[in-house]
Structure 1
Amino acid sequence: MGDSATGEPWDQLDTLDLQSAVVDGFARLIAIDHSQPTDQPLDEALSALSIDQVNSNEPLLNRLHSELLPLLKEQLNTISLSLIPSTISSKEPDKKLLRLILRTQSEIERTIYQIRSMITAVCPVCSGPISEVSVTHRTDDQHLKAQKSFRLFRVQELFNQSVMFIMHPVFTQAQGLFHQLVTIPPNELKPESDRPSYRGELTFFISCASTAIDWTIRTINGPELEIAQEYWKRELPWFNFYIRELLELTTPLPPTAIELTVERQQDLGVLVHGTVIQVAKLIIPIIKLIRLLFNKLSKRPMNPKEGFPLFTEMCSSQLESLARQLKRISQDIKLLLDLLNKADRSFDDMISYEFTGVIQNLKSRLDSLLLLILLYFVPSIQNTDAFPTQDDYKAWLVTWNTQLILSIHNFDDAVRLFHNNPF
């Protein structure tokens, strides 16, 4: 490719002007409002999808996951690979490479606009929490397969809040690295430990962006269960934390602390009163059972990578419930921990009712989850010699539910004991 044959506005620029244009190009990318979608008119954002709209949106979704999102990932890698000292330096800058960076910057802008425009066109979401609730709770889109509003909202959420959020540090580090390379001769560069690590940071953020892009693609064309499992992954580590916190709260005090006042003992971060300690100990098996269930639901044969169906007959409201149920359960556990500390410091006749109410909510959430799993996912388990059959999986869930009922019964007994004999 000749230097002047491309017809680009920067073809006739000298080296210094090219370098200045590259810096300006990164500044332009940094200045993109990465928290907001394109200025596409809001009336193009759909609040519902008809059959005709489904047919017209399918090519847009296909282009998003097969062309535009992979293209953005490739363009980011081009930027990263272009910013290397051997080809960009203050001594002998490569004009062709500078033009490649400028062209890639322009293409990234265009790709981002195209992606945002298409997402706005196919996703029935405008903005704000009211829109999210109305969209993800649709009960009439079970037939729309890849275009259920729950999935489409997640695509929009991932791109605008994950991919685009990472773009700002990507371009900031790229600009810093470029400025470093073109202004400081290689033989004058300080040891890496003594200068800003633009290269390391750029590599890290581009890796994060690539991961977010890959997951956005997977959300467009992947199984519904996998989308829910991704939500669960963010919450499951908290359950290990809850168990550790409960173990610490119920750890017996050392002999040297026995003579302290109740208030001083509580300041050590442990529960003091026996009936409250018993309630706390009986929360632990409930948490372990919940953790066990969601780990089970994330492995074979429930692993979507093992030929699990892409779509079910679930509507967006059900999918939303499935995906976010673990977060709501996690919030219930946090409430229980707060109630433990409250109960240990001062008896309130209503606390026992609060304990019971929270645990009933938790059980209701798990019942709802089990029903969805049994209705829509267990029937899709493929019977093989190597992995459990549908009947085996159902039997496991029945056994698990029996253990949960027993654990909750024991918890309720401890709460009643606390109510009758608080301290």
Structure 2
Amino acid sequence: MDPLWDLVRDAYFDLHEKYRLNGTWRPSSPIVLIDKDRASWDEALSRLALNILPPMYQQLEALPELLDSPKLSDSPVAKHELFAEIQSQLEKGLDSLTSIVASFRSPPSSSSVRTDDHHSIEIKGFQCQEVKSRIESLIFKICHTCCIFSILIKTRNDCNYPASTFVDIESAIQAVANACESIHQLIKWITSHEISNILNAWDIQSGEFNKLLFKLTQLIHPISESKEENGESMTSPVKQLSNPEAVELAKSVMPILKLSRLFFKKSATILFNRTPSQLVTNMNSHQLDASVKLAYLTIVDLRSIIAILRQTDNTADASVIAGDITRSIKLMKDRLDDILLLIPLYIIPLLPDLDHPSSPHHPLTWLANWHILFLSTTQKCMCAAETFEHSQPPGEPNQPIVARW
């Protein structure tokens, strides 16, 4: 292998080793707190969105193109110099990112659950923690990308070095895509309204509702296996429930799932399809954290319920099954109720060009009607759980349910 390629390969691997562990980061620039006041915070976010992240996106995106030829040295262009230049620029970018991470003073364990930072002039702990965690995640993804390219550079330029069975051009392209998507999402987060960030977090989870609907439908009556756009199976086959009462219980979950999906989809249209009158709401960090995580936690609850339903044909105690489903339904309902209280207080007042509150087209009218339906379906589901419990012979006391997903 050409000694020059050895140097390039080592440089990429060293970059991976230097930044892959948080405790080893040693930024070269002086640490200046960025969350001490609004001016410092805004300057840091602007520098991140305009000066640091866009060049790193371009550098990462260029890496797979340099691996097009079967042998890098075949190119008349000194590709090793291009690789070396990208590595150098990535190192500068990583140094800047670690410097920003080191510049936070807010303790991560408590900043995202504060309830006293609702005023718009303050720097909210939730925002600080979210930006910090996203930067850290991006750093690790870039390190992973550098490690993959160090291996590929070695295997493509050293005929005596065996090709890796775990690292190929497809894995390199995927690693770059993951890192670039993280950059895109980070820029989007720090430049968007708080309300838009809530929507984006909900939108990311939207596809999961369809997958859960497919799984729940299979429990009630088998359907042909679905294929996604890439031709892969959407889900593995699920055995149909044989217990009639269990089938009725599963059917009672179906409208809850569909209404949950409708809530997040419709909210994007009636609440978030407008530019808010200000960048931030008066929600505190705890409320923002709950709002952003709502779709994800709703999916977790629904996934848990479906996993429990799959155990109804086993010997688990019916009272345990009914109790677990009822608790999950109540937990999901309480979370949604909390957010429904926040929407008219903190989101609706910031949205322009709304119909009069008495109009049937006003967002609160739709939300009120949706809430009535949701309360009705959750009540019916809990009644179905009670019916299932009383229809089954008693099982072993306190027999645990092993939910297999």
Q: TM-score, normalised by structure 1?
A: 0.74
Q: Distance in 1 between matches of 2:321 and 2:80?
A: 68
| Matching of residue 330 in structure 1 with residue 299 in structure 2 | yes
Decide whether aligned partners of structure 1 residues 79 and 414 sit closer, same or farther in structure 2, where only a CA change above 3 A counts.
closer
Q: Counterpart of 2:397?
A: none
| Matching of residue 395 in structure 1 with residue 371 in structure 2 | no
8 A contact 2:6–2:154 mirrored in 1: no
TM-superposed CA distance for 1:32, in Å, is 3.0
8 A contact 1:325–1:365 mirrored in 2: yes
Is the partner of 1:138 in helix, strand or coil? Answer: coil
Counterpart amino acid of 1:290?
S
8 A contact 2:19–2:140 mirrored in 1: no
Equivalent of 1:299 in 240, 249, 269: 269
Q: Counterpart of 1:153?
A: 129
| Matching of residue 318 in structure 1 with residue 300 in structure 2 | no
Q: Distance in 2 between matches of 1:145 and 1:87?
A: 56
8 A contact 1:170–1:202 mirrored in 2: yes
Decide whether aligned partners of structure 1 residues 36 and 389 sit closer, same or farther in structure 2, where only a CA change above 3 A counts.
farther
Q: Deviations over 1:168-227 (max 9, x none)?
A: 44324433554466567xxxxxxxxxx999555444432332221121112222121232
| Matching of residue 166 in structure 1 with residue 157 in structure 2 | no
Q: How does 1:1-400 map to 2 (within 5 A)?
A: 16-36=2-22, 39=25, 52-80=36-64, 85=69, 89-90=73-74, 94=78, 98-122=80-104, 124-125=106-107, 131-132=108-109, 134-143=110-119, 147-161=123-137, 163-179=138-154, 199-251=169-221, 269-299=239-269, 301-303=271-273, 306=275, 309-346=278-315, 347-349=317-319, 351-383=321-353, 392-400=362-370
Mean alpha-carbon deviation: is it higher for 272-281 or for 211-220?
272-281
Q: Deviations over 1:321-344 (max 9, x none)?
A: 111122222232233334434454
Q: Distance in 1 between matches of 2:10 and 2:88?
A: 11
8 A contact 2:8–2:83 mirrored in 1: yes
Q: Distance in 2 between matches of 1:146 and 1:64?
A: 20
Counterpart amino acid of 2:45?
L
TM-superposed CA distance for 1:320, in Å, is 0.5
8 A contact 1:174–1:198 mirrored in 2: no
TM-superposed CA distance for 1:348, in Å, is 4.2
8 A contact 2:37–2:123 mirrored in 1: no
Q: Which has the larger radius of gyration?
A: 1
TM-superposed CA distance for 1:282, in Å, is 0.7
TM-superposed CA distance for 1:351, in Å, is 4.5
TM-superposed CA distance for 1:54, in Å, is 3.2
TM-superposed CA distance for 1:307, in Å, is 5.5
Counterpart amino acid of 2:388?
F
Decide whether aligned partners of structure 1 residues 67 and 335 sit closer, same or farther in structure 2, where only a CA change above 3 A counts.
same
Q: Distance in 1 between matches of 2:151 and 2:338?
A: 51
Is the partner of 1:238 in helix, strand or coil? Answer: helix
Q: Deviations over 1:331-372 (max 9, x none)?
A: 322333344344544444454444333322221111011112
Q: Which has the higher helix share?
A: 1
Give RMSD over aligned pairs: 3.7
Decide whether aligned partners of structure 1 residues 35 and 297 sit closer, same or farther in structure 2, where only a CA change above 3 A counts.
farther
Mean alpha-carbon deviation: is it higher for 362-371 or for 198-207?
198-207
Structure 1: 5+ residue runs without aligned partners? 1-14, 126-130, 185-194, 253-267
Q: TM-score, normalised by structure 2?
A: 0.77
Q: Deviations over 1:278-298 (max 9, x none)?
A: 221111001100010011123
Is the partner of 2:51 in helix, strand or coil? Answer: helix
TM-superposed CA distance for 1:412, in Å, is 3.0
Counterpart amino acid of 1:22?
V
Q: Distance in 2 between matches of 1:311 and 1:202?
A: 38
Mean alpha-carbon deviation: is it higher for 112-121 or for 306-315?
306-315
Counterpart amino acid of 2:150?
Q
8 A contact 2:354–2:362 mirrored in 1: no
Counterpart amino acid of 1:360?
K
Counterpart amino acid of 2:265?
N
Q: Counterpart of 1:258?
A: none
TM-superposed CA distance for 1:399, in Å, is 0.9
Q: Distance in 2 between matches of 1:91 and 1:276?
A: 65
Counterpart amino acid of 2:192?
G
8 A contact 1:38–1:117 mirrored in 2: no
